[in-house]
Every structure is written in C-alpha cells, then in structure tokens.
Amino acid sequence: MRVLLPFVAMIALAGACSEASAQAQCPELIRLRSKAIEVSRPMNRGLMPDRCDAYIRASLAWSAAVDYARDHQDVCDISNRLLGDLEKYQLDSVTARNNVCAGRPVRPFPADVVLQ
C-alpha cells in the first residue's frame, strides 16, 4: 500500500500537468468555450426580449467551439470526452434554437403535463 500511494500521486500529477499543457497550447478553445457560455447565460435568466436571435448566437458560438475542437483535437490534446461534452452543448443549443424560433418552449413539457 505504501508503494502504491506515491505511484498514484505521480500519475495524478502527470495528468494535471498534461491538462495544463493542453490549455496553454490552445487558448483559442478556452476563449471560444467561454464566449459560448457567456452568450448562453442571458437566455437562462430570460432577460432577452428577442429570444430567437439570442438562441441563434448561442448555437453559432457552440458550433465554433466544436469545430475548433474537432480541427485541433490532436494538436491540443483534446479528449474524446471533452469533445463529446462540447458536441452535447452544441446539440442542446441547436434544439433550443429550433424550438424557440418556431414559437415552442425551449424544452418539451414532461408527458404528465401534456393533456391529450
């Protein structure tokens, strides 16, 4: 057990260093992701009078982040998990944009709320 603990600590430290290295190599991905989060933030609070335009901007921002991550996955050492998370946010933003711009709620109501 004593031998295992330093080994696990070294692996954790190496993982943290490689993540920091990836962030230092690709500040553009961090900038694009931060922009997408910032553009999406006002919609969550319902402060935008023209919601369709806001959802369009958010979906375009997430698309830019995903495109950059795909194009630079090897160079920036972007994990498949991170790419999958970004793609999920993009899909969610496109679905929300399509719903809002069509005059529907952002997310469909649960089945027990829908009257038949």
Span 55-71, pLDDT tens digits: 999 999 999 999 999 99
Helix H or strand E encompassing 31:
helix 27-45
**CA-CA distances (angstroms) from residue 33 to 26, 80, 86?**
11, 16, 8
CA distance 30 to 9: 27
Which residues are within 8 A (CB) of 101 and not within 5 positions of it... i.e. 6 or more apart? 52, 55, 56
Residue type, 7: F
Q: What is the pLDDT of residues 18-27, one digit of tens each?
A: 444 445 578 9
Q: What is the mean pLDDT of the chain?
A: 77
